[in-house]
Amino acid sequence: MASVIDGFQRLGRALMLPIAVLPVAGLLLRLGQPDLLDVPMLAAAGNVIFDNLGLIFAIGVAVGLARENNGAAGLAGVVGFLVATKGAAVLLAVPPEVTAGLAQAAAEAAAKAYRDQQVSRLGVPIGVLSGLIAGLSYNRFSEIRLPPYLAFFGGRRFVPIATGCIGIVVAAAFGLAWPWLTRGVEALSHAVVGAGPWGLFVYGVLNRILIITGLHHILNNLAWFVIGEYHGATGDLHRFFAGDPNAGAFMSGFFPVMMFGLPGACLAMYHTARPERRAVAGGLLLSLALTSFLTGVTEPIEFTFMFLAPVLYAVHALLTGVAMALMHALGVHLGFGFSAGLFDYVLNFSKSTRPLWLLPIGAVYFGLYYALFRYGIVRFGLATPGREAEPVAVAPLAAPAGGRGGAFIAALGGAANLLNVDACTTRLRLTVADGAKVDEPALARLGARGVVRPAAGAVQVVLGPVADQVAVEIRRELRVPSSAPTAPVAAVPAAAGAAALELEPLLAALGGAANVAGVAAGAGRLLVRLHDAARIDAGALERVGVRGLALVAGAPAQLLVGEAAEPTCARLAARGIPAA
């Protein structure tokens, strides 16, 4: 069960990469409209992104899932998507009325347009599936070794080939099952829309609850990119920008909560803070409230009380569901390209239906959240920011000389403890060797608003919009050899008498001694510079005792070996292998 949850979390994280392009698409599309700048070129530039969401999801999901986010997986995603969509289109049966009475050339053009339009209805699901196949294929086949006469096609070059072959199977499955698939999507759309306010209430509640695990991205993708159709545009978000007057049901209810409700909760926390800490806590809470109000990014606020006061969080989830149902019942239709903040509200005001209703509803939500949170904090003595039992630094600490990435590495148990580092919009998503080594108070001093442990070895650190920047800095620090002057990486010294790995099997797994250009050790890792990384045998390395392998273009291969790093490096040096 844990592996299933971890798989969904990885998918949710990968989905955030293609979603990140939607704000610029929405911005260009709106600025180009006649009621704003009236520049058709800008509108066309934004619209082309929405028209090719399936392809964008294929690339983004593939890169997001691939080890080290390697771009070769993105190329494979394109191959898989094109093979699947074009292959499926050929298999679609064209109704006779589409080509009736047309000359041959016109009939062929009409049939092609019909097939393309039909395939575009499921473009995003096909894109996500193609990205999944490409990303997993990269992780499985990027180090494959073929016979010498086929060696050119080995390694990463094999990934698009494998993905294309699997894409043929996907094309056949979609093409032959198309009537049932389209009927299923239509039935789902009618069921959700037919559920009316109750369905939207459930969606709003689940959306907030699933934030705890990060799985809300999957639910959102179904609502925003699949459900409903309007002139070829599918999904609530795409339909809104295509001009569907009924779109926005799955977005409108977020605006009262994100722009008004949660800032009201922040004000309640400020007013209930201890007088001597109110100034410090106020700076933090003002920043969180402005982030929510302007951009709609709410997780930094939610993690201040999610685990501290689960009853309040349950109330927050219920009020989100109520807002979804209420806005729909009042006929208010709002939309966004990024999230439910002031920027999107103003930008899309003229495309919205009854947008001014947000102001009185938002005022009610502000007062409701303020009253509920103030009562809950005082009544139950909750240790919200500014009310902690012991003085705690609530503002981010300055990073040490080695940089912010090094400070996070140390707080996460050292470089040897980090097996994988990634990020979504607001969280670091990590795989660690030993979760007990993660220092949560140290992470809090670095600005973390919460730490989630969804499964064994999985850790999520809530940082807000800077999460991706921090992940880049951590990965950059991890690539630096131990001889470089970077203090923050917590080295793991070899224990007295620690055994080295067996050299002959290790060198064979690395493609032979002639393939090793240099070696260094530090932080529980062997840093091996290779002539040809494609010759690595990952399975053989695991049998030798290597616990993890990281390959980064242009950098030494990193072999996680723990205390065996230093003695193994010494024995390799004795064999005449130079320092990396």
Quote the CA–CA distance of 81 and 127 in Å, as a whole number: 6
Angle of helix 196-210 relative to helix 178-194, nearest 10 degrees, comes to 100
* Residue 117: CB atoms within 10 Å: 12
Quote the CA–CA distance of 440 and 104 in Å, as a whole number: 69
Quote the CA–CA distance of 569 and 564 in Å, as a whole number: 8
Quote the CA–CA distance of 312 and 194 in Å, as a whole number: 30
**Annotated active-site positions, please?**
424
Quote the CA–CA distance of 251 and 260 in Å, as a whole number: 15
| CA nearest neighbour of 433 among 524, 498, 506 | 524
In angstroms, what CA-CA distances link 127 with 55, 61, 108, 167? 6, 8, 26, 11
Residue 77: which residues within 8 A CB-CB, separation 6 or more? Answer: 58, 59, 61, 62, 63, 127, 130, 131, 134, 135, 163
Angle of helix 358-380 relative to helix 262-271, nearest 10 degrees, comes to 40
The 3-class SS string of 245-260 reads CCCCCCCCCHHHHHHH
Quote the CA–CA distance of 85 and 126 in Å, as a whole number: 8
Q: Is 281 exposed, middle or buried (0-12, 13-18, 19+ CB in 10 A)?
A: buried
Quote the CA–CA distance of 345 and 341 in Å, as a whole number: 6
